Amino acid sequence: MADPFARFPRFPLAHLPTPLVEMKRLRATLSGRMNAEPPRLFIKRDDCTGLAGGGNKTRKLEFLIGEALSQGCNTVVTTGALQSNHARQTAAAAAAAGLRCLLVLFESVPYAGRAYRSSGNLLLDRILGAEVRVEQADADAGALFRQVMAEIEAGGGKPYLVPVGGSNATGSLGYTAAYLEIADALDALGTGPARIVHASSSGGTQAGLVVGRQLRGHGPSVAGINVYRADNDAMAAGILALAGKTAALFELAAPEAGAVVLDGAHLGPRYGLPTEEMKAAVELVAREEGVLLDPVYTGKAMAGFIAQVLAGRHDDVEALVFLHTGGMPGLFAYEDEF
């Protein structure tokens, strides 16, 4: 098939393809706990996308920075929580593209850990040369962004606004492409029916993967684990709407509601606040596989992945891929937990 992404501006940032690795030791441990044979377990190492600590945003930023450059923009503005991995990768992508970067970060997570406001992603944002502006959770974001954009323009700059998590249709293209990469790698291994499980937050990863399946016509199903919103149904509806916009870029029909599968049982008290099962999952995977997850996204998603495997939820497939979306620098911000 001709490259379906060739017509979208793209700025190369990621080291691709990322490795797809079998987790034999984790599988043996889970098998012992359930007295049954789970499917083969794999981990897709998108924490190794290569840009300043890696993670899923790198794939999205290839298309977002490509679009910014194609529009002649010279300043990238984005937003997130204080420990946003997306903000850190955007800072790195902007640096690599020679663009100014302004991060507007919100005090939206009521976490009192001693390193939360100084270390982890926030430290890296500063080293990467981003200008960091911290705002209170209840600030009027709309008014704030209008003011920030006007300030940049008044100084002669041309801003490009990247939405939270890089999750618009352009950003989601990164995970439409990733779906093809994963599905082709599974085919090459001859694994049989498969499923991809991953952390879902602003939704671009899941929307992109869902559209990838539509584009390819066959391949692993997709199951998100909600680490973001208490209202699981509203979040799934938002992801479906974003998938519709992404599908439209390929002149595909909007996917049906059943295409967005989202497990809301592993969020805990709220976004960014640790759970005991997250800590257990982070330590288990570190000690069984030598792989570092993160406390906000992949740790909670792995807790969900393990619970689903133990409950036999994936007995209908032969291969289960945990998509490691990155976030490891966040461990340093949550040092009190470990």
Ligand X SMILES: Cc1ncc(COP(=O)(O)O)c(C=O)c1O
Q: Which chain residues interact with ligand X by CB under 6 A?
A: 55-56, 85-86, 165, 167, 199-206, 294, 297-298, 325-327
Q: What stretches of the chain adopt beta strand conformation (E)? A: 20-22, 40-45, 75-81, 100-107, 131-136, 159-161, 194-200, 221-226, 262-263, 319-324
The arrangement of strands across the sheet holding 131-136 comes to 131-136, 100-107, 75-81, 159-161
Smallest distance from ligand X to CB 256, Å? 20
Smallest distance from ligand X to CB 1, Å? 25
Of 85 and 275, which has the nearer Cβ to ligand X? 85
Smallest distance from ligand X to CB 150, Å? 27
The arrangement of strands across the sheet holding 221-226 comes to 20-22, 40-45, 319-324, 194-200, 221-226, 262-263
Closest of 303, 305, 296, 304 to residue 327, by C-alpha: 296
Task: In whole angstroms, give the CA distance from residue 247 to residue 256.
Answer: 11
Instruction: Please report the DSSP string for 110-177 in residue order.
Output: ----TTTTTSHHHHHHHHTT-EEEEEETTS-HHHHHHHHHHHHHHTT--EEEPPGGG-SHHHHHHHHH
Of 108 and 325, which has the nearer Cβ to ligand X? 325
Smallest distance from ligand X to CB 298, Å? 6
Given the residues 84, 172, 201, 202, the one annotated as active site? 84
Of 61 and 148, which has the nearer Cβ to ligand X? 61
Active site residue 84: yes
Of 49 and 308, which has the nearer Cβ to ligand X? 49
Of 67 and 294, which has the nearer Cβ to ligand X? 294
Task: In whole angstroms, give the CA distance from residue 8 to residue 13.
Answer: 15
Smallest distance from ligand X to CB 301, Å? 7
End-to-end CA distance of the chain: 47
Of 219 and 272, which has the nearer Cβ to ligand X? 272
Smallest distance from ligand X to CB 196, Å? 13
Q: What are the b/e assignments for 221-255, b being 16+ CB within 10 Å?
A: bbbbbbbbbeebeebbebbbebbbebbebeeeebb
The first and second tokens of residue 264, run together, are: 């809301």
Of 152 and 242, which has the nearer Cβ to ligand X? 242
Going by the DSSP 8-state scheme, the letter that residue 257 receives in this structure is G
| Closest residue by beta carbon to ligand X | 327
* Angle CA 264–266–270, to nearest 5: 90
Active site positions, annotated: 84
